[in-house]
Amino acid sequence: MEYVVMYSLRDGVDHSRIMETFPRHKTYYEAFRAEGGGLIALGPFQTADPAGASMGICFARGR
């Protein structure tokens, strides 16, 4: 089974916090992917504010 996870930021969220936490999140998703965690793709939408929304495409580990 494949699935898509999407998020978008609420109005009023401080976008500088996105870049502040990004290195920690990158370390997590890279380790998850390397361990066969089912991550196919991950990234922001190409919009005027790419930090405002993102999407991940995953598959179930038992695939």
Q: Using alpha carbons, list the distances in angstroms from residue 10 to 13, 21, 26, 59.
A: 6, 17, 21, 27
Provide the pLDDT for residue 17: 79
20-56: pLDDT as tens digits: 888 888 898 888 888 888 888 888 887 777 667 888 8
CB 6 within 8 A of CB 55: yes
Provide the pLDDT for residue 61: 64
Structure-model confidence comparison of residues 60 and 62, the more confident one: 60
Provide the pLDDT for residue 59: 86
Provide the pLDDT for residue 62: 62
Provide the pLDDT for residue 60: 78
Strands, DSSP E only, in the chain? 2-8, 39-44, 53-59
